[in-house]
Homo-oligomer: A and B are copies of this chain.
Amino acid sequence: MSPAPTVVENPAFKHPAFNRIPPWVRAKLSPLAIEKIQAVYEWVENECIPREQIMKAQLEGKRWVTPPLIHELRDKAKQRGLFNLFLPNHFKESPGLTNLEYSCCAELMGRCYWAAQTMNCHAPETGNIELLAKYCSEEQKKKWLAPLMEGTASSAYSMTEPDVASSDATNIGISMRREGDEYVINGRKLYGNCLWNKDLTFYILMGLSDPENPDKWHRHTMIIVPCNTPGIQQVRNLTIMGYDHAPEGHGEYLYTNVRVPAANVILGEGRAFEIAQGRLGPGRIHHCMRLIGQCERAYELALVRCTDPRKRPRGKLIGEFDSNIERVAQMRLELDAARLVVLNAADTMDLLGNKAGKRAIAQSKILVPAMATKWIDECMQIYGGMGVTQHTPLPEMWTYARFVRLADGPDAAHRHQVGREEMKTAGGFRERNEAYKRRYKELAEKYGEKYVSFD
């Protein structure tokens, strides 16, 4: 009998933090990454999840004030070296992880809704920090980026509008008129964190500065709008499936003659699309990895319910029903497949750059939230009547996953973009098929067989 290969894995991987990481990824982890992944695991398990109810209690009655808990934990996490892990190692400000390595951290963060925030790794901060690090002048960086990375400021991203189909950003219509060395902003915005929370420092806003430009890709400008600028009014808090998502939340805003210094323009007037393109890559996969972590927790809860000795419909445990056995298996397998998709996207960015990773990022964005909503929903169903109440965190998890199906544009918009690009590849396949036929014709002659045409 032939010998099987013998393999010795790094004993560090016995730690539960690495349980779900596939072998090809483990093999690529640096010692720093191994240390950080483990530290993030301990942090989330011991410091975040057990405080979830306390967080809720601190928010009661004071919805738009960041709870003391968050401040306390952010200080601690910073001391422990868990701040800003997301910033990839090709930035000079980076703590040194690759996108792939950080993805393993992000999954663990996803297990608690606000854990990423304690590590300054939450949306939209991460995307904004990367944007500022990439496109700002050194002076701007000092003013706006440094406090974000220090955790002493907080930012939001303001792109969506109620009046247009903003999934196609060329439609964005909020007016940004230059007057002297200021821009005057008028119009409406939807989404972006709530102004009501006084910890919010500034918005990165995309506006229409040059509506007459014949090139629709150069009509828009990205600008930093400090929250205390007069003229910005929050019309309401947007609830997401009924949740206010306090204390950050989402808002609807009215801009009336809001005056912002031209020095706050990022990269230059008319260059918003250049920036928007660069912004979205890593942020999207962070969302997806957090969703996977969230699904893992939903999965664990489902197994807990499946084996709850108090729940015995028709005399069997929930998990003794073959239908649930099959459901659990299918969830396990699809969840693990989703992780492969996101890790591949992260790795592609590491190996070939964000642009080359675009397709893999879109793949994550389209497949993962849909997978997550489907399976968290099944977990609720397994829980029965309790599954949709606050007895479990599942309704909040589902809502977040559902929201991500729309964040940065609905699935369909992304699918449409991928599909349009794919259609362009058809020419090559048409030629290939013609080549098959030509060669078949020659061969048919050679073999003395009749040429059969299906044209």
Contacts and interface: CB of A to CB of B under 8 A. Distances in A.
Contact of A162 (B54, B336, B355, B386): B386
By size class, the interface of chain A is: 35 or more
A149 to B, nearest CB: 14
Contacts of A384: 165-167, 406, 409-410
Given A307-B430, A396-B242, A337 B329 contact: no
Interface stretch (A4-12, A101-109, A175-183, A203-211): A4-12
A443 to B, nearest CB: 6
A49 B432 CA distance: 11
Interface of A is mostly: helix
B310 A163 contact: yes
- When all copies of this chain in the complex are counted, the total is 4
29 contacts: A1-B135, A1-B267, A2-B91, A7-B356, A9-B352, A23-B352, A23-B356, A24-B351, A27-B351, A45-B432, A50-B437, A160-B385, A162-B386, A165-B312, A236-B390, A239-B395, A241-B242, A301-B429, A306-B423, A306-B426, A321-B322, A323-B325, A326-B412, A326-B415, A328-B422, A329-B416, A333-B363, A333-B418, A337-B341
Interface stretch (A29-37, A113-121, A256-264, A397-405): A397-405
Contacts of A425: 303
A133 B121 CA distance: 52
A324 to B, nearest CB: 8
A454 to B, nearest CB: 5
Interface stretch (A77-85, A219-227, A445-453): A445-453
A241 B344 CA distance: 33
Interface in A289-305: 300-301, 303-304
A419 B350 contact: no
A313 B168 contact: yes
A14 interface: no
